[in-house]
């Protein structure tokens, strides 16, 4: 919401019969990045169908203006995202959606390693005064109950530890629908990405509305 604010000088001019123009604060778009793997990067899809692009469009349709950086790298693990964090998330970024861990799970990486990497990512982003939305991932059933318990608990535990927003499962609505996945059975089609965006949108809306707006210098 934009507020029309009249300065002291403007009030004085109005009192003298002059015409005073009310100044409107110039609110800059929210600077947001999505730090992720191929699910963020848009593997197998045109750039226009990648999750960050579709999310930015969906937010715009809701009247929420954001500039979203696609910081997704196909094949990346949580440890890989941690190692490139400083150069992947540019200065001035106000909020980050973290979507990492799927490759850790697919490769059977020890959940302790994944947890430590994600913990450091969230910690370092918060140290930069960047708001975080953590996207969860669930372990595949074939990895066993013990692995699933250790892996699935990472995301809610970290969200609680650092008091950050959580979206429980990034692939909600897609993982069990073959029609929304590419031939590899793993990556979403363009229609699948739209389902992901539709499902996560209410969480992202609530998240970005809590991030203090950056005001451009007049």
pLDDT tens per residue, range 152-186: 999 999 999 999 999 999 999 999 999 999 999 99
| Domain presence at residue 19 | no
Pick the catalytic residue from 38, 79, 88, 131.
38
Over residues 191-218, mean pLDDT: 86
Query: Can 74 be counted among the known catalytic residues?
Result: no
Query: Can 184 be counted among the known catalytic residues?
Result: yes
| Domain presence at residue 163 | yes
| Domain presence at residue 92 | yes
| Domain presence at residue 131 | yes
Q: In terms of residue numbers, what domain contains 190? A: 29-209
Over residues 19-47, mean pLDDT: 81
Query: Can 187 be counted among the known catalytic residues?
Result: yes
Q: How many domains does the structure of the chain reveal?
A: 1
| Domain presence at residue 6 | no
Residue ranges with strand state E in the chain: 30-36, 66-72, 95-99, 131-135, 165-167
| Domain presence at residue 5 | no
Cα–Cα dist 197/173, whole Å: 10
| Domain presence at residue 181 | yes
| Domain presence at residue 124 | yes
Pick the catalytic residue from 76, 79, 187, 194.
187
Residue 57's CATH number: 3.40.50.1110
Per-residue pLDDT band at 26 (split at 50, 70, 90): low
């Amino acid at each position: 919401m934009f507020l029309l604010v009249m300065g002291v000088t403007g009030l004085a001019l109005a009192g003298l019969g002059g015409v005073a123009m009310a100044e409107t604060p110039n609110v800059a778009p929210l600077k947001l990045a999505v730090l992720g793997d191929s699910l963020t990067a848009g593997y197998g899809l045109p750039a226009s169908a990648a999750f960050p692009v579709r999310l930015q469009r969906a937010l715009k349709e809701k009247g929420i203006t954001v500039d979203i950086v696609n910081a997704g790298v196909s094949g990346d693990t949580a440890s890989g995202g941690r190692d490139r964090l400083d150069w992947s998330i540019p200065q001035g970024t106000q909020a980050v959606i973290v979507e990492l861990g799927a490759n850790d799970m697919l490769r059977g990486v020890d959940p302790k390693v994944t947890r430590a990497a994600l913990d450091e990512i969230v910690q370092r982003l918060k140290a930069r005064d960047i708001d975080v939305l953590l996207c969860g991932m669930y372990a595949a059933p074939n990895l066993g109950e013990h692995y699933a318990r250790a892996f699935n608990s990472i995301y809610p535990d970290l969200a609680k530890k650092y008091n950050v927003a959580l979206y429980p499962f990034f692939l909600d609505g897609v993982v069990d629908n073959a029609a929304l996945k590419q031939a590899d059975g793993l990556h979403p089609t363009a229609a699948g990405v739209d389902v992901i965006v539709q499902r996560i949108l209410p969480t992202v809306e609530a998240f970005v509305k809590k991030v203090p707006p950056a005001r451009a210098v007049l």
